[in-house]
Structure 1
């Protein structure tokens, strides 16, 4: 049996198998990429983040449960106006909040320091924004830090 007769008999089957394998591989790769993008969006979707909703409305996340996507997200679209939207209605995060400590991270840090965080026990730190202002002021005073 020579190559030409083998290809004439089995060429179409081989081609179909190769196409099926390629389709399966590319579909799986696309699904993995989408999953990574969804996980990244879920990490960025925290209270205080500015988001764009499916309808073209911009707002700020007030409450969002990344673990239970059936729960509605609470989005503030104007000062004092909070709407509830399905978590999948959030198209993308426009301005992600950086430097925010999640509750789990805070509990872990608190446990590792045996319940004592410097400044909190003495009432020095009143909020995250005050702490950030103090840090930026110290940075301006001492640019080498």
Structure 2
């Protein structure tokens, strides 16, 4: 009995067994990954965190019990408006990089704007105008490099 006849007789069975092992392994890996993601979300879901609900609403967690998922979560969607939702309706935690500006970033932006305005008022426009000219020249170069329709 040579290799070709063995593969002809048992090749399909070996292939099916290999496929079953692969499917079992990949589904187990996916389940472990989902479990880790759920644990991470439950750990990050604390009062005060910004969340996106499955209905598309953004809000702030007021009360959430990560261990008892049958207990509803309370989410504030507007000042003074708190709703109860199923705890698994929290789709994800919204990070500040996705459009929400933290208070520190807001204060920093206000300070830099105040410095700009103070520089213009003091007549220190040379550095501002030089910077503006450099940006304008770069934009013109980009326009020249762009193919025309």
Question: Does the pair score TM above 0.5?
Answer: yes
TM-score, normalization by structure 2? 0.63
CA distance in 1, matches of 2:65, 2:18: 42
Q: For structure 2, which runs of at least 5 residues remain unmatched after alignment?
A: 97-149
- Structure index of larger Rg: 2
Aligned position for 2:54? 54
Say how many residue pairs are matched.
Answer: 96
Cα offset for 1:47?
Answer: 0.2
Partners of 1:59 and 1:66 in 2: CA distance: 17
SS at match of 1:66: coil
Bigger share in helix = 2
Query: More relative contact order in 1 or in 2 (CA 8 Å, sep 6+)?
Result: 1
Q: CA deviation at 1:25?
A: 0.3
1:80 Cα offset (Å): 0.5
Q: Distance in 2 between matches of 1:41 and 1:7?
A: 49
Report SS of the residue matched to 1:29: helix
Deviation at 1:38, TM superposition (A): 0.5
Q: State the partner residue of 1:28.
A: 28
- Write the deviation string for residues 65-85 of structure 1: whole angstroms up to 9, x where unpaired: 000000000000000000000
Point out where structure 1 has 5 or more consecutive residues left out of the alignment. 97-145
Give the corresponding residue for 2:65. 65
- How far off its partner does 1:95 sit? 3.5
Structure 2: distance between partners of 1:81 and 1:47: 15
Residue equivalent to 1:120: none
Q: Secondary structure at the match of 1:59?
A: strand
Q: How many angstroms apart in 1 are the aligned matches of 2:45 and 2:64?
A: 7
SS at match of 1:7: helix
Paired position in structure 2 for 1:44: 44
Please tell me the root mean square deviation across aligned C-alpha atoms, in Å. 1.0
- Paired with 1:5 and 1:86, the residues of 2 have a C-alpha distance of 60
